[in-house]
Amino acid sequence: MSTGSASAPAERSQKVFPGRFDGKAAVVTGAAQGIGLAVARRISAEGAAVVLVDRSELVHEVAAELVAAGAKATSVTADLEQFAGAEAAVAEAVAANGRIDVLINNVGGTIWAKPYEHYAAEEIQQEIQRSLFPTLWTCRAALPQLVAQGAGVIVNVSSVATRGVNRVPYAAAKGGVNALTQSLALEAAPHGIRVVATAPGGTEAPVRKVKRGPEPEQEQEKAWYQQIVDQTVNSSLLKRYGTLDEQAAAIVFLASDEASYITGTVLPVAGGDLG
């Protein structure tokens, strides 16, 4: 969950570890905004050659920013809700860097916030399409390359909202991401591939340039959204939202060689809320 509606400490400065990803080729999806953008900045600052994937043209601005800072970065626009888009993005990533050492699947996010009985059938389908299929498709598209290499890391971004109010379809989608992570880890381990995930909690982020869905307008819609905010804070032992840097730190750690004995794990990053 990403929002700007709950109090959090001032954004902490990145604790970058230069050289941690030297010689590594990384792919970050959903890299134009939010957590994906924070991850792209950090992993490139730590030495990775990065391919940034997003359906928004904003991703090209991010790549230009990283190149200006001295990183090796390229950008790809793709619709990862479709397998063809995932295949094309993976092909461009391999063409750019020759391999994929790290795949970070960050696409997803709640579109609507309301009790389940108020969701229309097409809204349920859209939520699943948005928050499960991009990870399913991109894992499938990248896996042959990782198997051929005999090495690689996949970090999926899930959510502790698998146990949360007013977004049942999103919760179901992220539950699918958790199951994918744990099951694929079993299959991938013999090939030298680790598959892990983080489960972010509420995260302070700037206002999105590309909205996930309609803003709450009616008083009832605002009340339903406030219930999500209240539950998120109350479920956190630290009683606050996290920062983008706190989310990126966990993701990049799991992607690094420091986490070489961790696979099949979903790590909650939610101030003590285990989801």
Structural Rg of the chain based on CA atoms: 18
The one-letter amino acid at 172: A
DSSP-derived secondary structure for 41-86: HHHHHTT-EEEEEESSTHHHHHHHHHHHTT--EEEEE--TTSHHHH
- List strand residue ranges (DSSP E) for 112-183, in order: 152-157
How far apart are the C-alpha atoms of 173 and 155, rounded to whole Å?
16
What are the Cα distances from residue 184, in Å, to 188, 195, 275?
Answer: 6, 7, 21
> Please, are residues 40 and 17 in contact by the beta-carbon 8 Å criterion?
no
Q: Max alpha carbon distance in the chain (Å)?
A: 54
How far apart are the C-alpha atoms of 120 and 10, rounded to whole Å?
38
Q: Is 170 annotated in the active site?
A: yes
Catalytic residue among 119, 170, 225, 241: 170
Enumerate the active-site residues.
170
